[in-house]
Chain A
């Protein structure tokens, strides 16, 4: 987003530079030996950090770390070691061209300062060990009480968004048409398409609370709810249905997970059972092992620490598993202490895979939430951890999961990315209220889902992300693409619909989310589940469309559909209407009906129906959730 505008700026600079003024004369490098801390840091602090440090990277250039400094930005490396006269940095600070001179605002560098910079570059670009200009944001861990503002809206989300809408001049009340809403909410709750009858029933329902009734009814469909959500959680927990690597580990948790989802297990209990395993839930912290020796940052205890932090706390400690992190404040020692909770004996701290000679003492990342008895046996320590993480004092657990739900339903989180919960949110009150409500009401996932799905915010027309603006503004759910599982279930539903007296919400066989990974699903984006995936890639790729256009598995599905609909005995016009209704949840327009009819011809044959089915399967209205 920001990058594009900078890219543009780059273009403008290039265009403007055709008639640029002569730069200042290059001063000689200072002759003495320069010191980074004494001589260079103050110059950078004064003239560069406003735009190029602390997460800001104008022109793609960040001076936060030595490596980012040297790597430079969009225009190439900033400095060439030993060649200060040829270094871009020196050229820019000497420039007299207002379009390119650095710093772009404020006082220019004196020639003495340039001489120092030159000497520093020529003397080898020495940096203070471990120094960074970055100061990282740490979101508070404790819950924060938010009073629901007064107002006319009944749904808390809408009540909380009202001031936001008025501040951002957004009309609150616009909503999508019924058939789009029904499709959206079916896919988001149970991962299936609504049948034409279900769409019609909703449209013809005149009760004012029909949205709430539908959401409640769908969340009650336990089997389909579980078989849809198992996909998301299996991605998070690396729950591969097949063997993982040649080496062990990677135990399946499918049965435990499905049952937990069916009974809507309270989330705090759900998390406790994953961290301190009960029967069938031990796969998550057990980790994935390859035969042989592995890097110190990838031993199973470390995997457990990394994955618990990422999935439950939206916290990235992967960098700090090797060395003190460059992207947040976490240190190697803290990470080892956390990982040691999962270890039978004390762990040897390794920096970049080399032992430091230190031993780690088991401790949790946020000591203010509770302490681990370092002397207790592993089983006891892990149990303590599971209780500390799920204690009501840990607002971060609830914030992380309600934010995940928000991101799933609205296409972008209240905090983004969803695994970086230290990032600022675009609506702190909304995030904190949702998290509190969730924790105060038994960590009931379906309760929060219902609040989100029955809000007017969720009924808003879908939008695309506006990548030109610096700051995200919520206008409605972002257009999303069907997951591999939703797509294949949907295709199955459209095929099965050719039959008579088809049971409700039927795909004709095992649902895609319960099946083993196959080539088709893999191409459509279902991960291998060897690493934690909390959000899938959602954009179509050429490889996917090749697979869908000529791959045998999908071609076979189309033929199966063609045969089913040919055998239904319906006439061409009925088939067209029924296919549209089942696939897109609406009637075809007259023009659409005509073009579809011309594909089918006069007498219905399986091949032509297969082609029409393919056309509908490739239709953006089918593949996307609007």
Chain B
């Protein structure tokens, strides 16, 4: 075997980022451990995270407790849920009113009632979100990768014509934008594994087309002319060189995506039948994001996250009017999430697609933090509720939160963990930490929980120190 053939073999298999690391001695990692897919049987090929940014109150969504309807002069300490409980497709499992459609598909799902967010002191949404998305608590000496980047780095794209990590709905123009940017990154893994951002699902197709104002023909001609010019360039005589090869390979990859009719169809929501489109449309940006996630999953996406976006005091960040706002929020997620489950099932994709519905922490009317680790209150709760705007779960509760899982090898119609029936309705059995949740998602994808890459000569694991174990009871 001569060194020329090996070079070519290596080039065809290694990503450009790996090449970059080798070529320039750059600070990005080199792979130390390859994922051995034979040793760990995966149960999913694709992950869809449906992100309820801002803190979704579990007692007003998937884990109903004592319902006390609104009335003037109400003692807030009496209220555990502001919605009555409803039945789901599974005996004994109740949701709150407004989640009937998701309730109807609960027989395909697993509900974790006992997600416990970390103790990070004075609550900051973006910091808990950072932790949820990386399994690491900031700040850190090394930029930690987003879970989507870990999966992208470890497994690569499912369909090579699609970006492996697609992030739908988050913008970076809110009050905590810099903190949000800190975890929407591939970190030390290198930008080859960074998220592909789509903000408005309706306009997603623009991201995989020539720039606005340029026709496909002109775009193709420009690239043809470019290649011709390079062929005529004296630089071609210089022989092979990594920097140049990675540049040309990246341009080629970009053009493959931007002129790929099939990939483009997946991004184009205008091709969706009207009835289906309208079902998802009720959820606004989030709902259409679910539709886009379904289309991308059909096309072979690897990791997708869908969110309304995190904006301080908006959406699930209910510092006031919690009840009223949750009524609307639930109406926005109920149909799209249920439809996503049914659509994937009808297309025989649900078994290999793991849907994760989650939020950085839960909320409670009284408690900030968790019983054993109370932190400074951020929301003023009157001793008597005399206005509707005070009726709702407004404080940040980290003791127990709901995570809903569908497909991807998880049990069907299953509930994991127990929460107390009285305030603070915290975890009483089988807590699940963020790190365990990560380990479980990685396990489903066939990635060992102690999988790592080296940075600065030390191993950096998918979960801190590689110690968190997956919760195997969740798996079917």
Contacts and interface: CB of A to CB of B under 8 A. Distances in A.
Given A318-B456, A326-B458, A620-B248, A539 B26 contact: yes
A479 interface: yes
Contact of A544 (B137, B222, B230, B250): B250
B226 A536 contact: no
A16 to B, nearest CB: 12
Contacts of A289: 139
A126 B232 CA distance: 64
Interface residues of A, number: 97
A131 B127 CA distance: 36
Contacts of B212: 552, 555
Contacts of B213: 555, 559
A288 interface: yes
Contacts of B304: none
A620 B244 contact: yes
Contacts of B123: 292
A74 B229 CA distance: 42
Interface string B230-261: 10111100001111101111110111011000
A298 interface: yes
Given A74-B34, A419-B456, A551 B143 contact: no
A421 B244 CA distance: 30
B250 A545 contact: yes
B229 A480 contact: no
A607 B141 CA distance: 46
Given A465-B242, A525-B191, A611-B218, 17 more contacts: A7-B10, A245-B179, A245-B182, A326-B458, A327-B457, A465-B24, A479-B244, A480-B24, A528-B181, A531-B143, A537-B26, A539-B242, A539-B243, A543-B192, A615-B229, A619-B230, A620-B230
A246 B176 contact: yes
Contacts of A619: 229-230, 233
B191 A523 contact: yes
A290 B242 contact: no
Contact of B182 (A530, A533, A611): A530
Interface string A320-355: 010000110000000000000000000000000000
27 contacts: A4-B6, A7-B10, A8-B1, A245-B127, A246-B124, A290-B127, A290-B138, A292-B121, A293-B120, A293-B122, A316-B457, A318-B142, A412-B25, A464-B240, A465-B22, A523-B194, A534-B27, A536-B27, A540-B247, A542-B163, A549-B254, A595-B228, A596-B229, A614-B222, A615-B222, A615-B229, A624-B247
B204 interface: no
A507 interface: no
B32 A318 contact: no
B135 to A, nearest CB: 13
A275 to B, nearest CB: 19
Given A318-B456, A537-B28, A598 B124 contact: no
Interface in B121-166: 121-124, 126-127, 137-143, 163
A550 B209 contact: yes
A390 interface: no
B211 A242 contact: no
Contacts of A17: none
Interface residues of B, number: 91
Contacts of A27: none
Contacts of A326: 458
A528 B182 contact: yes
A71 interface: yes
B420 interface: no
Contact of B24 (A7, A8, A538, A615): A538
B12 interface: no
The 9 A-B residue pairs with the shortest CB-CB distance in the complex, in nearest-first order: A539-B20, A292-B121, A293-B121, A555-B211, A545-B254, A591-B232, A542-B253, A540-B247, A545-B250
Contacts of A297: 141
Contacts of B126: 245-246
B271 interface: no
B213 to A, nearest CB: 8
Nearest to B241: A464
B1 A531 contact: no
